């Protein structure tokens, strides 16, 4: 069921076209991540949904209610939308309890209970209720900001890069915690982030913006394995792009004959593989001309996931490839390995 409809939204700032006919549907109870490079228009789109900006044209409809129809808009405070920003924007002179309860009527008989329930929901210690924001860690501040936004019982939650100021480990924990809280509360959410891995792990739907246009939207796995173009492929993660000849669903390239996601076509193409699709094994029977072999030039140890750089044999083109593999059973530098491919290659038309 469509919960939020963004239809043909355009926005211009003088000569700059920030958004160009953006259209996107968000399902009820889902989590959508909007990603894109700096200047792609993602923050502008979020501000239009929130009601802080007016579109030049297009419509925003939430649960059947039109929030924006061109410049005619419903004010932000009447939209029932919660927002958590990058810095949390907590009131420094108020305690944690006062920050969380800011959106709850002071005369409400269950005010204290609601604050306590929200503290439990965002997994904060009740001992922190009397503290001020400066006495909290970055992650704790974000939990308070989320609780304050939830206190108003929003229909939609907007998350504007809320994890970007946190350390790497804390970011992952906070991302999981926020996703868990939103799912428990049954609240639809939209996350704006510049972190591709964050978007892929957090969202049910990922929308990629570039130069003010919606390039592709869909499930994270679909966008990662079947990107619409090369730019999207490299933006969402490391990608190996190789020239190939397509014949009845198979691609012949320096790695051999590979299955692809494109059937019934033939001719010169480019194919994409993710580095983790390449698998290394001990070289055997190097006289087999149908197999691909290479020499390990360098290894970057990263614990669970390591980066191996290898040089293909001359008969396989002699090019350099980067492979992601487990830290267990790593080959040694200078050793010869066999390269095989798991899964299918994604096909792009030859540029």
Give the tens place of pLDDT for each residue, 259-291. Answer: 999 877 789 999 999 988 988 888 766 565 567
Tell me the pLDDT band of 102, cut-offs 50, 70 and 90: confident
Report yes or no on whether pTM surpasses 0.85.
yes
Instruction: Report the side by side order of strands in the sheet with 320-326.
Output: 278-282, 336-341, 292-300, 305-312, 320-326
Average pLDDT, the chain: 89
Q: Tokens 């936004």, residue?
A: 149
Give pLDDT tens digits for 120-135: 888 888 888 999 988 9
Domain 2-234: give its CATH superfamily.
P-loop containing nucleotide triphosphate hydrolases (3.40.50.300)
**E strand or H helix at 221:** helix 220-225
Token couple for 79: 């939209």
Tell me the pLDDT band of 150, cut-offs 50, 70 and 90: confident
**Percentage with pLDDT > 90 across the chain:** 51
pLDDT given at position 36:
93
Burial class (CB in 10 A: 0-12, 13-18, 19+), 171: buried
Give pLDDT tens digits for 53-75: 999 999 999 999 999 999 999 99
Q: What is the mean pLDDT of residues 228-246?
A: 94
CATH number of 238-349: 2.40.50.140
pLDDT given at position 195:
87
Q: What is the mean pLDDT of residues 76-102?
A: 87
pLDDT given at position 88:
66
> In terms of DSSP bridges, do strands 266-273 and 240-247 run parallel, antiparallel, or are they unpaired?
antiparallel
| Dihedral class, residue 325 (left if φ above 0, else alpha if ψ from -120 to 50, else beta) | beta
Domain spans of the chain, in order of start: 2-234, 238-349
Contact 181, 146 (CB under 8 A): yes
């Amino acid at each position: 069921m469509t919960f939020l409809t963004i239809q043909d939204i355009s926005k211009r700032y003088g000569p700059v076209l920030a958004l160009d006919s953006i259209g996107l549907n968000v399902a009820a109870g889902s989590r959508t991540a909007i990603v894109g490079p700096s200047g792609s228009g993602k923050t502008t789109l979020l501000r239009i949904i929130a009601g802080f900006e007016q579109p030049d044209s297009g419509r925003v409809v939430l649960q059947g209610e039109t929030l924006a129809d061109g410049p005619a808009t419903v004010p932000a405070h009447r939209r029932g939308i919660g927002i958590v920003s990058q810095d949390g924007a907590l009131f420094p002179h108020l305690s944690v309890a006062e920050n969380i309860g800011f959106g709850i009527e002071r005369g409400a008989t269950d005010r204290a209970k609601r604050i306590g329930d929200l503290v439990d929901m965002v997994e904060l210690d009740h001992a922190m209720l009397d503290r001020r924001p400066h006495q909290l860690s970055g992650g704790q501040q974000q939990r308070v900001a989320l609780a304050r936004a939830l206190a108003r019982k929003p229909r939609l939650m907007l998350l504007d890069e809320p994890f970007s100021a946190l350390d790497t480990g804390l970011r992952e924990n906070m991302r999981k915690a926020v996703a868990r809280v939103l799912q428990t509360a049954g609240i639809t959410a939209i996350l704006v982030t510049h972190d591709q891995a964050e978007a892929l792990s957090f969202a049910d739907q990922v929308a990629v913006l570039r130069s003010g246009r919606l390039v592709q939207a869909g499930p994270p796995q679909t966008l990662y394995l079947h990107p619409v173009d090369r730019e999207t492929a490299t933006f969402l993660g490391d990608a190996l792009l190789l020239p190939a000849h397509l014949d009845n669903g198979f691609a012949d390239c320096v790695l051999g004959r590979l299955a692809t996601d494109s059937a019934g076509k033939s001719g010169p193409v480019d194919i994409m593989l993710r580095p983790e699709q390449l698998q290394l094994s001990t070289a055997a029977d190097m006289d087999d001309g149908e197999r691909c072999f290479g020499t390990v030039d360098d290894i970057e140890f990263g614990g669970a996931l390591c980066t191996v750089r290898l040089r293909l044999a001359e008969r396989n083109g002699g090019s350099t490839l980067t492979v992601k593999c487990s830290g267990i059973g790593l080959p040694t530098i200078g050793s010869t390995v066999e390269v095989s491919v798991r899964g299918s290659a994604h096909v792009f038309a030859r540029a």
